[in-house]
Amino acid sequence: MTYLEVLDSAWQDHLTPRAEDAPTVISLFAGCGGSSLGYSMAGYRELLAVEWDANAVETFRLNFPGVPVHHDDIATLDVERCLSLAGIAPGELDVLDGSPPCQGFSTAGKREMGDDRNQLFHEFARLLAGLRPRAFVMENVSGMVKGKMRLVFVEILRELKSCGYRVSARLLNAMYFGVPQSRQRLILIGVREDLEREPSHPGPSTRPMGMREVIELRHESGLRRGWGAVSDDVRNKQFNNRYRSLDLPCVTLEKTRPPIILSGTIERELTLEECARIGSFPSPFAWGPRAYQRIGNSVPPLFMRAIAQHVRSLAVE
């Protein structure tokens, strides 16, 4: 199948009604629903999403009207309230998912050890210990295991294990899981100790795709619409963190501005529709405010679908 056919098929999987015995997931730090869409594509039934950002919540509700949302600071959600909102008892949840804010760890930022956002994993661990799901998935930037931030990573690993889980951590790149974007992320997968199963990660399932396979190039008067001439200075930057050749996977999408793509002697920024497609969001996905930020902050749905499918076979079925 072509990439667009894959997205269309995955969207239909998302729309398929869930059976009562479908695997269940709760999403913490849910954002606009990138991870949630990945789990839904993999056949999960989401019981609750937790997110404090109003713009992200607006987009989430546009696309997941049947999922309850705790729209508040995660620190205000105690275990009893979380269980009540999800309609479950401790130990009944299949997967707890979460992507604690990563700005304090990101190599694109200042990487400050004292950044308060570095400590939000404690909230994930607190709910993990109380909910006792069969498995958990935590996603974060690769910078968590680089340089001085590795000290925080070791602390996170220790705390997650102390909640009663066997834990495995690995760097995975979304471009090997059907996403036309080079986006490396740290994925931690944990399995509850009493299940006596070792956590593991999915292996690469696709080759990297160049953007030429994803973006429809329309010619107009000899130039592509919206394109301009490329300066020598720009041409020398085509492999940095914003410029990219059409023959390569897209650079990691940022939350503030779209990448610039190059073809021969011309250049242009990616459109919102193209960024969403490169982020592996199918075209019917509805966007609310600050869409570029939402896409840049999201886990690509196809990436999370591959992880969710693996965890389902590992610890749920």
CA-closest candidate to residue 185, choices 307, 276, 94:
307
**Apex 121 CA angle, 116 and 123, nearest 5:** 95
> For the chain, which domains are there?
3-207+283-316 (3.40.50.150), 211-278 (no CATH)
Cβ atoms < 10 Å from Cβ of 176: 19
Q: Which of 102, 163, 250, 275 is catalytic?
A: 102
Nearest to 267 by CA among 298, 236, 289, 303: 236
Q: Kindly report the CA angle at 198 between 204 and 156, in degrees rounded to 5?
A: 85
The b/e string for 105-142 (b: 16+ C-beta within 10 A; e otherwise) is: bbeeeebeeebeebebbebbbbbbbebbbbbbbbbbbb
Determine whether 163 is an active site residue: no
Question: CA nearest 212: which of 260, 247, 179, 250?
Answer: 247
The first and second tokens of residue 188, run together, are: 């931690």
pLDDT (tens, 9 = 90+) of the chain, 317 residues, equals 899 999 999 999 999 999 989 999 999 999 999 999 999 999 999 999 999 999 999 999 999 999 999 999 999 999 999 999 999 999 999 999 999 885 544 444 444 544 455 578 999 999 999 999 999 999 998 877 777 777 888 999 999 999 999 999 999 999 999 999 999 999 999 999 999 999 999 999 999 999 888 886 654 333 344 545 555 555 455 445 566 778 889 989 988 778 887 766 667 788 899 999 999 999 999 999 999 999 999 999 999 999 999 999 999 98
Quote the CA–CA distance of 265 and 163 in Å, as a whole number. Answer: 55
For CA atoms 198, 307, 97, 149, the dihedral sign is positive
- Both tokens of 56, joined, read 């992200």
Our measurement of the distance from residue 144's CA atom to the centroid of its chain's CA atoms, rounded to an integer in Å, reads: 16
Helix axis angle, 79-86 relative to 121-131, nearest 10°? Answer: 60
Burial of 33: CB neighbours in 10 Å, binned 0-12, 13-18, 19+: buried
pTM, whole model, 2 decimals?
0.89
Tokens in use for 240?
């940095």
